[in-house]
Amino acid sequence: MTEALFREDAYRRESPSRIVSADPRGVALDRTVFYPRGGGQPGDRGELVVEGGASVPIVDTIYDADRKTILHIPAEGALLPSPGASVVARIDWDTRLKRMRTHTALHLLSVALPYPVTGGAVGEGEGRLDFDCGAPLDRGEVEKKLNALIALDAPVGERWISDEELDANPALIKTMSVKPPMGTGKVRLVAIEGLDLQPCGGTHVARTGEIGRATVAQIEKKGRINRRVRIVLCDP
Ligand SMILES: [Zn+2]
């Protein structure tokens, strides 16, 4: 089982870690700052710096089949360190921060548009949510609402509840296509103070003001009642 340092501190960019196993399929560490693909958020890229200075480029991060071990996928042909070796695990921070801002903005988009979410994707400074919503949506209105929520500069925190508590409060689950990570006995809720509370395992900024200004780039009709809303963040 890999200790997931990004869960306690999404702003942590690197950590001293030890190689547990290494093959071209993936490198497992005892602890990591790398976020593994999940919940619509892509896996982190970055590097593992071996003692002596050699760097192993990491192109993606995933969970192994056990859902407990995090695998850092090395670039093709990269020379791999041996199990037991000490490394510094360092993420590509510019990319991660853009994803954190986008991810948090999508939480607020689900507040601006209080409809069931059927899908979504977090990109670098852009992202989308799909809503089950029969009514036509006005792009300008949605954009105004979203930016008003961002401007509240609300703190973003977390709370943990038991699987049973979540089962008893199904209204907490907005995203029907992404099942919250259950089965470990407790579920992580991401709380945007006074605005939003939902199960989520991703990485977020500490306050909504850090998102900066967002534009609603497109609202697309996907089927009779599905609307795909795409947002783009302005550079801070
Ligand atoms: Zn989230």
In tens, the pLDDT along 13-29 reads 999 999 999 999 999 99
Contact between residue 35 and residue 44 where contact means Cβ atoms under 8 Å apart: yes
- DSSP letter (8 states) at residue 52: T
Position 181 confidence tier, pLDDT thresholds 50, 70, 90: low
Does the pLDDT of residue 51 top 90, yes or no?
no
Distance of CA 192 to the CA centre of its chain: 15
Distance 188 CA to ligand 1 centre (A): 10
Distance 25 CA to ligand 1 centre (A): 28
Q: pTM surpassing 0.85?
A: yes
Reading the block at residue 183, the tokens are: 């089965």
Distance 197 CA to ligand 1 centre (A): 10
User: What distance in Å separates the CA atoms of residue 65 and residue 63, rounded to the nearest whole number?
Assistant: 6
Q: What percent of the chain has pLDDT over 90?
A: 75
Distance 135 CA to ligand 1 centre (A): 25
